[in-house]
Every structure is written in C-alpha cells, then in structure tokens.
Amino acid sequence: MTELRPVDTTSFTVYNRALFLWQSTIVAGLLIFGGLFALSYFILSTSNEAMLGFTELAGLGISVIAFLRYLRVRTRFRWQALRQFLEDNNWSQINKYDIDKAASILLGAGAAYNELYAFSGNFIERYFSCLIYQYIATSSQTCRFICLRFKLSKAYPLIILDNKLNDHGYRRSDSNLPDRVPDGVRVSLEGDFDKYYRLSVTKGREQEAVHVLSPDLMAALIDQAYCKVDIEVSGKDLFLIYEDNFYSEQNINSLFSVAKTMIGKLDRLSETWLASSRWEERVMSKSARAARNKLLLSGYDLISAIIALCIFVFITILMISSTHQ
C-alpha cells in the first residue's frame, strides 16, 4: 500500500536523519568499547593493556559526546524543524488558542488540560487549524493528542470514529479518551468496518450516521486504518486526532491523508445531504453542539458545581447574619 504524502515534511525528514546519525554514533562508540573490553579480557594479552584501555575509553567517550549532542539536537533543532515545516507549506504559528479547535472527546477527558504548539493554514483550498492538546489522565500520566480541525460546508450530527488500532499502545490504555458520547449509542456497520473502528453517535441520529458513512467512505477509511487516526464530526466541524507528543513526519502525513479522504467524501455528500435547508442545518448543528456540551460537562461536574454553589451561598448567609448581630 502506497502512503499519501499530501504535505511537505522534508524538514522533519532531515531532523530525523540528524537524530539517527547521532544515535548511530552512540551505538558505534558502545560497540567499540564493548568489543575491545571483551577482546582484552578473553583473547588479547595484557602486554598492550594500556593501549587497549585508552582505546576502550575513547569508544566510551565517543558515545558520551554523541549522546550529549543528540540531546541538544533533539530539543533545539526540533523547533527549527517545525518552523521550517510551516514555512515550506506557507502556514503560520498560532499564539492564541481556542477551545473550539479541540475535539469534544478530548475536552471531556482527564483534567488540567492545556493547548500547545498550534498552527493554521490552507490545505486543498480549505482553512484548517492544528494544535497539541495535553491533559492529565486518571493515572496521573500526561497525555498528548494532535488535533486537526476543518470547517465543513454542511452540518452533521455528532459522529465519533475510534480507531481500534490505537487500543494496543501502552499509553492508549491509560489515556482516558472516551470511546462513546454521553447518551450515545454504538452503531454496527456492514462488512469489516467494525474490525477497525468503533462508531458512536447521539441517540436518534443513527440513520444520519449510516448515511454519512457510505460504503465507499468506509472502504477508504479501512484502507487508511493504519494511520491510527480517530475522527470526530460535530456540526460543521471535522476533527482528526492522533496521539503523540509532538509533530512528526508520520503523524502529519497520517492526519492530512485521512483529512483529504474525509473532506473529499463529505464534499460530494453535501450535494445531496439532508441538511439542505437553514432549519434542518440549525437543528443538526444544535444537536451536535448539545452533545459536545455534554462531553465538556458531565453530570458529576454539574452536581459538584451545584454543591459548591450551595456551600458558597450558605457561608455568605452566615457571614451576613453574623455582621448584623
């Protein structure tokens, strides 16, 4: 299977080659040290012990210097690679973040979230935004997801496609990423699609979801399941989600490849999509927005907020009554 290369990721390729060079130097130095140590211990005589010891230390020194250089390249040049990547594609960095740029299933997970390292631009003549979303999971681990967002021409119900290939990662099992929406239902589709994705929708919108996921779209997504991208459609928003710590050649190509497939299919569907009138579109957007709000604010959070408000009112009343005594 030939992977699509929809964007210019040359800068990340060069960055990875530099890292590989220093990693190889580290390994080479350790092999020199280990090989000479084994030779001096088992085979060679002790007459050249001083020279062997010096050579062994030289091999170890090469590894140490290469490791320090590797750390510097990995941290410093990563930002240079990102800036060059944005310049190569005529995109720009975003310094002001917006919660609407993150998918609902990310906003409803974990605690102490933060939005990092965002950029925006145009792809296949359509504006997008992309950011890294970070939160603390229930296991106290920090989880990071790259979230790519596009605007659609028509409004659709909340549809979440959870890629099952993500289930095998050790971090994924602890990520606390919801795989279904509140008050939602799982929908099984024909063929092999259920082997690769879990489909979750809001109750009462099953038929629309099946209409969106036409046989040709399901076939295309099955072909791209190896990209390990989760998908969320919410109103007029399309979100593509990839679990990773930072941007790379692999996750960028995966996200934009799936985005190209989804946008192409949804653009063709929009010509006959049921949300053709303003009233239908408003109803569809409202239902998707309501489902998104439920993901943002769970029932537990609502109860906690009410209890906190009651305690605040009670304390305020006590303070007021004590001042009048």
pLDDT at 255 over 90: yes
In a domain, 308, yes or no: no
Query: 247 and 125 share a domain?
Result: yes
- Total tally of structural domains belonging to the chain: 2
pLDDT of residue 169: 47
State which residues form the domain around 278: 92-299
pLDDT of residue 172: 46
256-273 confidence digits (pLDDT tens): 999 999 999 998 888 777
pLDDT of residue 71: 84
pLDDT of residue 193: 92
Query: 286 and 238 share a domain?
Result: yes
Query: 84 and 125 share a domain?
Result: no
pLDDT at 173 over 60: no
> Six-digit token pair at 2?
């030939």
The last residue of one of the domains, among 68, 88, 108, is 88
CA 253 – CA 244 distance, rounded (Å): 13
Fill in the DSSP letter of residue 146: E
Query: 287 and 193 share a domain?
Result: yes
Query: 104 and 196 share a domain?
Result: yes
Contact between 106 and 161 (Cβ < 8 Å): no
Spatial neighbors of 323 by CB under 8 A, at least 6 apart, are none
Fill in the DSSP letter of residue 171: T
pLDDT at 68 over 90: no
Q: pTM for the full model?
A: 0.76
Query: 165 and 71 share a domain?
Result: no
pLDDT of residue 204: 84
Q: How does residue 316 score in pLDDT terms, banded at 50, 70 and 90?
A: low
In a domain, 125, yes or no: yes
Q: Mean pLDDT across the chain, nearest whole number?
A: 79
> Six-digit token pair at 184?
């939602």
Query: 153 and 47 share a domain?
Result: no
pLDDT of residue 170: 39
